[in-house]
Amino acid sequence: MDATDAGRAAQIVLRASDLPGGGWRASPASTGADELGSGDDLLDACLAGFPDPDVTASAESDRFTRARALAYAVAWVFSSEAAAEIAFATLAHERFASAFVTGMAAEVHPEEGAATLLGHVAAPVAGFEAPGRSAAHQARLTAADAEGILPIHLDLLALQEERAATLVILADSPDPLPGGDVKTVAERVALRLAGGR
């Protein structure tokens, strides 16, 4: 792993200060940055066509939670801008998002209920004003547990600038994060992706 690129990847990933409001609690990611290629089974299984051989560094954010909300991100730096563009195209494609949210639904613990993917919409991040490229996927799951039906809303944000790309995962229940908050998170991460602080 390239040390300079590792520093860049660590700078890009989601921070508590990127998230709307207060009350977010951070816990360490379940896998280290050097295990991202194989440690996150769900993400790895959805990344067909992703340019893994061109990854020079990667980083994963803490898992941020607030009530039923969850936010986290993965960032990659690549050996070339062309490879980063391929990565972005993979993350921005409806095939990736559908596989990710379907896999998330399948991972709901059988003893706690089941989840069904109800819908998926792919579009640019609404109102996004920052350098680089962006794509947003929105999905809604319905999970059933002993207490009844629980809607889960997902926002998947793919961002790319030059040799770097990141995927931000935002989830909340029973209501989605407001669109303005999603836009703010995207813009704050994109600023660092473009080299800002």
Tens of pLDDT, residue by residue over 149-186, are: 778 888 899 999 999 999 999 988 888 888 889 989 99
How many Å from the N-terminal Cα to the C-terminal Cα in the chain?
Answer: 23
Indicate the domain borders of the chain: 3-193
Give the C-alpha separation, 100 to 104, whole Å: 6
Q: Which of 163, 164, 161, 181 is nearest to 172 (CA)?
A: 181
- For the residues of 63-75, what is the DSSP string, one character each? EEEETTEEEEEEE
> What is the chain's length?
197
Output the pLDDT for position 61: 95
Output the pLDDT for position 51: 94
CATH class belonging to 3-193: alpha beta
- pTM of the full predicted structure? 0.84
DSSP designation for 49 = T
Tens of pLDDT, residue by residue over 53-106, are: 999 999 999 999 998 899 999 999 999 999 999 999 999 888 888 888 777 766
DSSP designation for 53 = G
Give the C-alpha separation, 189 to 158, whole Å: 11
